[in-house]
Structures are given as structure tokens and as C-alpha cells.
Chain A
């Protein structure tokens, strides 16, 4: 957990005072909406269909119990008692009132929370692996570098008015849990020839109307050059990125238009030219930032304690354990994923009561730390294995001991037309209906790993392109229709899904998903062959035939 220093806190307090004054001047009429809109967006405040929405940044998906309690307080005091965890390690409140925002922002800042970098054409909240620092397959904690980048790029004058929003994803693990290839800059921690730390650097990823996967432009960038190299990329983007057409303004379009080789040459030339004044990430600075990350003082405990072995006699606990619990790098500990995907309810929503309960559980069993990931689930990254049975019972009591992590009901969905002013179609009711169709836990386990992603418009906040099954809502003559893609993947072997055919109406989407799954069950070579591997082996044609033969 990174602990803010006085400089960080002062920045937040000054921002609250500034934004509060801007709100006051807007409410009095001193500022027009045209003048105020970019100012509120710089603080994560959007105007949606029937209310303002406040988006709060959760840098690298790490929350303390104190911060989660503050989010619960905001939900209860200023909103409608719940919050929505997004696909970009942010949290959204969908019913906030502009007149309440000064107080809400001050409360948030008191816990080190804010809406900076959650909107606007700046470098957005930098996302990472929710298992950062505790994953067994990690070579270094990516949050150290995410924090360094956050500090360097927050309110950076040169990079605060980019052609378009800019997203950076970073991981230190072999298995990509942060969807790094979908980012404008994707960073993988690597070891150099002499064991030194550095980064593979990819650029030009992004979903939306024109989806691309990021392509590597540097196989190894020493960590000391990280800031200089990222600056060089941003400078090239600032120089050549289009500002005349919002749909062509993202860096992915520039990389595609120039070609990745030419883009790389531009970046390398800029990096070389700026070497005399580029920021250097020396070991002292990294050590200073690392020092401010307060790691848990892990207990010296053994794996498989008697308390855990005894609990395996309970079939419900066993099911949950094998679904939601993952190995930890420290013996005697475990990573616990908290699914926010109950059958028939909104993916990613969490009530104030649940947030407070989780904060208590984190304090009691998990060194006070909570994470959130792009799958819209939460995670207690460090739980003593002996405490797992007790934690499970408490999670169960508040509806959070779900055993559907990575299964078909663990659906990623954007807020869609039920909240969002950009959406063309609803996403949440589609997710709800699909999860009801596949509610049977035995059926879910029989189907196995399967990711469904739903977006209510082409902006792709539900990351439909990289879902094993992707669902995109579109509008046709005032009616909601949905395009279905198959074969997308978000991990280190990321792929974009392929459209299987004509779109289907709202009330037929769940039927189509049932058909696709039935086809998969018939087509898989053995039960262990997961959906995405079957799609890769047989292609989309058999699924297409199954879906459209009867329609």
C-alpha cells in the first residue's frame, strides 16, 4: 500500500478547494456549462442520463480498508448506497449531486481518494495486475513503476492536453491479468541480459470503434529510461496525433497510419534527442517510492494448516476454495478473489454494507488491503490460509462468497443505456438474463472457464472485443440489437474476437448464448478443453451454423 506524503495530500486538498470554487461559480452562473464541463471532467464528474456520475480513481487497483470504508461512506451519504467497479480499476457513483460534490470530494481527499485522471485527454489512471506484489509468477511489483509514472504524469503540463485520452497498463507477471495489450502503452517488466530490471514496451492498443492490440516497439527498455521513453512516446503522439477527428485521435490510429516501424523510429529519435534533459529513474528514486509502499509484515506460517484441511469436509467451502482462492508467493497465505457477479444482479456493483464488511474482513484477515481488477471483481490479496474458513463464512453472510470466478456468469458489462449517455443499448439486463440462464453452479463448472464481455456501445467499456464471447449493443431504427463475437482473449496471447453474423434483438441474446454454449459442449474434445481453445481449434463456423440455422 503506497502511503501519500504531505506533497500528495496537499495536491489533493488544493484540488478539492479549486473544484469546490468552480462548482460554486457554476451554480451561481458565473461559469457557463461550456466553461465548466472540462473542469468537472478533470475531476471525474460526468453528466449521464438521469444524474451526475463521479468516477474515482483507484491507482493500480489497490485500496486500503480505510479507503474502502470511505467509498462506503460516500455511497451511503451522497449516493444511493452502492458503487460500481469498472473495467479500468475505477469506481463510479451513478447518482451523485453536483451541489454535494464539494463535501464528497473533501471526504474522499481525507482518505487519499480523488477523481483526477479519470477523464479528459490526459494520461488516465494507470492499471496493473490486481495480484501485483503477491503473484507467484511475478518478477517485480509493477505498482512501484505505476506509482512513479502516476506521480510524473499527473497534471504534467506537456501531457495534460493530448489529442485524446491515454491509458497505460503494466504488469510484472508472466500471465497477463491486466489486459496490457489493450492499452495505449503496454508495459511488461522484464529482466535484461545482466539481470537488470526493465520493460518491454508496446504501443497502440485500444478497443472502441477501431480495435487494435498493442505492438512492441522496444523489447527491453532499462528501468532507468522508463520515464524518458514514455515521454518520448507521448511527445511523438502530441506532435502527430490527430486533433481534427475524435474517432481518429487515439494513438492506435497514429501507429496504424504511420506503421509500427516508422512510429518506433520516431520514438527512438525523440528519445535520443531528449537524452540530455529526459528524466532518469535512478535507483535512489525507485528506492524512495518503494519505501513508501508499506508491505504487510507477513506472518511466518506454513501451507495447508489444519484449519484449512478440516474445512475441506464442507463441500460448499471446497467449491469456493477451488474457484476463488489462488496461490500466494508467501507460504501459508492465499489470494482470494471476491466475485461481484451474483446471478441476476448488476456486474461490478457493491453495496456500502458490503464495502464496509470487506474492509473489516481485510483488517481481520488480510493485512488491511483490497484490490480490484479489470474483470470488475475485488480481491483480498493476502489472506492467511488458516483464516480462509472463517473468511468464507463471513463473506457468505454478506453475499460475497460466490464461486463463479472466471465462469460463464462472471460477466463483464459496462453500465450501458441504463445509465450512460453515450450508450446505444442496455448491457446490464443482458448480463442479468444470461447469468440467470446459467445459474446452476454445476452447469457453470461443467462449461468451465468462459469470459463474456458486454458493451452497450462501440466505445467498448465492457471490452467486448476481448471476451471469449463478446456482445456489443447497437441501435437499429430505435431498437436494441446485439452483435456477437467469438474468440477474443485478454491475456498475454490476446486476440480480438470475430463477428459471427447478423445482430440479434435484445430478447434473443441469451438464447444465442445458450446455443453457442451448447455447440461448444458438443464440439469440445474433452471436458478440460475450455471454450476459447475449442473456438481456436474449430473456428467460428460451427458456432455460426448453430446460431443462425434456426434464425
Chain B
């Protein structure tokens, strides 16, 4: 999937601002208060270009918290829960799609 960092900004639905945390690379989401959280449920949800641009500009200016901020699609599932909107974001949110345990005997 084309890297979101390479995509032109086009907002077709709900998005959140996501990035990697500078100190450890963990996936983080922008909150309504201008902070960051690792919990997608706590993310600020946007649906228009202007506020997305504003949040991205602010995130870019902060420098030492987040790396490579961009807008990622999200949707609400059947239970109204906010979930990632594509496979790439599901993997970023939940990790690899297979069991990381290597040797059955060790598990």
C-alpha cells in the first residue's frame, strides 16, 4: 500500500492523526487536547481537510514527540467502536497478523 506519507491529502471519511513515537517508534494517535495516545479509542476523529492540516502542522512543529504524522482512515465497527480503516493501519495498531511465538515448545 502506498505509504500514507507519500499521498496527497484527501479526506474521504473519518480520519485520525497518527505517527510513531520518537523515543521508541510506538504507534501513537493525536488526542483532542493536542497530546498523543497509544489507544486509538482516545484519538481525535476528523473528517475535513482544514482541521487535518492544522493538526499536522502543529504535530510537525512539536519535534520531539512524534515522527512522520499523517492522516489515517478509521471507521466505526458494528459496536460503534473506532477501528483502523485499512489493513496497513490494522497492522500498525495491532502488530503483525500472525503469532509472533517462534517455537511451539517455548510457548
Contact = CB atoms under 8 A, between A and B. Distances in A.
Interface of A: 26-29, 32-33, 47-52, 80, 82, 96-99, 342, 345-346, 349-351, 353-354, 398-399, 417-419, 421-426, 428-429, 432, 475, 478, 480
A478 B67 contact: no
A222 to B, nearest CB: 46
A29 B64 contact: yes
Which 10 residue pairs spanning A and B have beta carbons closest together?
A418-B96, A97-B24, A51-B25, A52-B25, A29-B64, A99-B23, A399-B103, A29-B63, A475-B1, A351-B102
B24 A424 contact: no
Interface string B5-32: 0000000000000001011111100000
Contacts of B87: 417, 478, 480
Interface string B79-107: 00000001110011001111010111110
A97 B23 contact: yes
Contact of B24 (A51, A80, A350, A480): A51
A98 B1 contact: no
B24 A52 contact: yes
A240 B92 CA distance: 40
23 contacts: A28-B64, A29-B63, A49-B88, A50-B91, A50-B95, A51-B24, A52-B25, A82-B102, A98-B22, A99-B24, A346-B102, A349-B102, A354-B102, A354-B103, A398-B103, A399-B104, A418-B91, A418-B96, A422-B3, A424-B2, A429-B97, A478-B86, A480-B87
A422 B22 CA distance: 19
A550 B1 CA distance: 28
A220 to B, nearest CB: 45
B68 interface: yes
- Kindly state the interface size class of chain B when it binds its partner: 20 to 34
Nearest to B5: A421
A336 B104 CA distance: 24
B20, B87, B96 pick with most chain A CB within 10 angstroms? B96
A27, A96, A342, A478 pick with most chain B CB within 10 angstroms? A478
A52 B67 CA distance: 11
B33 to A, nearest CB: 21
Contacts, number: 92
Given A50-B27, A399-B103, A475-B1, A27 B98 contact: no
A27 B66 CA distance: 11
B106 to A, nearest CB: 7
Contact of A33 (B24, B26, B68, B88): B68
Contacts of B2: 424, 475
A27 B23 contact: yes
Contacts of B106: 351, 353
A48 B3 CA distance: 11
Given A27-B64, A32-B63, A353-B106, A426 B97 contact: yes
Contacts of A80: 100
A49 B90 CA distance: 10
B24 A346 contact: no
A478 B97 contact: no
A428 B22 CA distance: 27
A28 B63 CA distance: 9
Contact of B20 (A29, A32, A47, A423): A47
Contacts of A29: 63-64
Nearest to B23: A99
B103 A98 contact: no
A34 to B, nearest CB: 10
A49 B92 contact: yes
Contacts of A480: 87
B26 to A, nearest CB: 7
A246 to B, nearest CB: 11
Nearest to B27: A50
Contacts of B26: 50-51
B22 A418 contact: no
Contacts of B1: 417, 423-425, 475, 478
